[in-house]
């Protein structure tokens, strides 16, 4: 993997760059649709590429490990061949599931022991075997095993967790360097900064991660219950330390406003389930604000979903029709809303990139924040 920084905004830390992988080029800042188990919910691969214009998607190591399982993925020749996605794929390491499945897991120095949410079977993730698992999945960008602490974790627990994550990272980096890709193309490995909401821990973790000298770095453990302003503070702290010549990935964040604030603070890569999850429940993100398409006020509104959008669903379907689909519980409604929201997110980061290159990012971002946080109805 290669990262070329094209421009940094003069008034902020916003950056425009290009990541080059063996499966294609990614222009940053970028949003990655979440394809947890090898598919982005309710969206065809052809729609991801042609309509949404996704440049990279995300897969989840925990879920893919359980279903379809490593045997099937290896027989298929990796996830790209299994799901017919020809562009880059990033996989997380299962660390977030360590956090979210707290009732079914046990942390040890060796790794994390957990029970499957599917059948209750017992498994273990170690820093080494999550590398092996992601080798078999065949992702272009792999993540190190970490523990994601909740946003309200006490200091001593956050410190112990961070230190364990660092020990796991040393083992993971060693194993990554001792192994090779299975399918004839290169893979890269990102460490993850932890430290909860404590500035000194975040600085210590960012320094430790930067010292690993990997090709990119991630920021984890945010948007997990802490106040939004505290999240922004941690991003500022971490990005003062993480190297400027390598991409920075903010994991699991977030709303359109979160993404714009992250870009302003020097983040290059984002992912979140919000566009599809909220879309399936009738919430639409548009250039003029947030719409609940189930509301009666849209029943006879025959205008496009987002009048300025260049996504095909917006000029093909009206708000009234989309509301009808949701009220009638037609699956097509969830599909249209998911495609629209993802197209909007990709449009948003593309516009951010354009304004970074033009040199007016700050004024554009401040105006856009007001729009995207507006609740229309």
Catalytic residue of the set 92, 146, 306, 314: 92
Cα separation, 152 vs 129, in Å, equals 30
Instruction: Judge whether 92 counts as a catalytic residue.
Output: yes
H or E, element range at 15: strand 15-21
Answer yes or no: are the C-beta atoms of 17 and 5 closer than 8 Å. Answer: yes
Counting Cβ atoms within 10 Å, is residue 292 exposed (0-12), middle (13-18) or buried (19+)? middle
Mode of pairing for the β-strands spanning 248-250 and 289-292 = unpaired
**H helix count then E strand count, the chain:** 15, 17
Strand partners, 193: 219
Residues 6+ apart with CB under 8 A from 119: none
Per DSSP (E only), the strands in 50-135 are 57-60, 89-92, 105-107, 112-115, 122-125
310 is catalytic: no
Residue 202 CB neighbours (<10 A): 27
Q: Choose, from 9, 146, 271, 314, the residue flagged as catalytic.
A: 271
Query: Among all residues, which ones are annotated catalytic?
Result: 92, 271
């Amino acid at each position: 993997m290669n990262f070329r920084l094209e421009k940094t905004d003069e008034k902020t830390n916003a950056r425009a760059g290009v990541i080059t992988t063996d499966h294609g080029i990614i222009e940053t800042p970028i949003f990655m649709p979440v394809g947890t188990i090898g598919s982005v919910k309710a969206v065809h691969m052809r729609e991801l590429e042609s309509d949404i214009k996704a440049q990279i998607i995300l897969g989840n190591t925990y879920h893919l490990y359980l279903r379809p399982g490593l045997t099937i993925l290896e027989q298929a020749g990796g996830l790209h061949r299994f799901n017919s996605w020809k562009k880059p794929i990033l996989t997380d390491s299962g660390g977030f599931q360590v956090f979210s499945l707290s009732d079914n897991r046990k942390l040890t120095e060796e790794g994390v022991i957990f029970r499957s949410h599917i059948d209750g079977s017992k498994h273990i993730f170690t820093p080494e075997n999550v590398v092996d698992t992601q080798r078999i999945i065949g992702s272009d960008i792999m993540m190190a095993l970490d523990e994601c602490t909740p946003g309200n974790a006490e200091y001593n627990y956050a410190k112990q967790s961070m230190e364990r994550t660092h020990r796991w990272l040393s083992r993971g980096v060693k194993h990554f360097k001792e192994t090779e890709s299975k399918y004839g193309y290169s893979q890269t490995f990102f460490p993850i900064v932890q430290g909860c909401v404590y500035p000194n821990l975040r600085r210590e973790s960012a320094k430790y991660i930067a010292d690993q000298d990997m090709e990119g770095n991630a920021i984890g453990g945010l948007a997990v219950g802490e106040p939004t302003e505290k999240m922004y503070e941690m991003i500022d702290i971490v990005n003062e330390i993480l190297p400027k010549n390598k991409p920075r990935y903010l994991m699991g964040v977030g709303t359109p406003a979160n993404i714009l604030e992250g870009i302003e603070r020097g983040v290059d890569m984002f992912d979140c389930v919000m566009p599809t999850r909220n879309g399936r429940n009738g919430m639409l993100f548009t250039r003029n604000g947030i719409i609940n398409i189930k509301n009666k006020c849209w029943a006879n509104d025959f205008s496009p979903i987002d009048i300025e959008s260049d996504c095909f669903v917006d000029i093909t379907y009206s708000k009234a029709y989309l509301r009808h689909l949701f009220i009638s519980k037609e699956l097509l409604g969830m599909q249209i809303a998911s495609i629209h929201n993802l197209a909007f997110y990709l449009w948003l980061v593309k516009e951010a990139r354009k304004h970074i290159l033009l040199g007016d990012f700050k004024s554009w971002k401040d105006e856009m924040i007001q729009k995207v946080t507006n609740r229309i109805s």
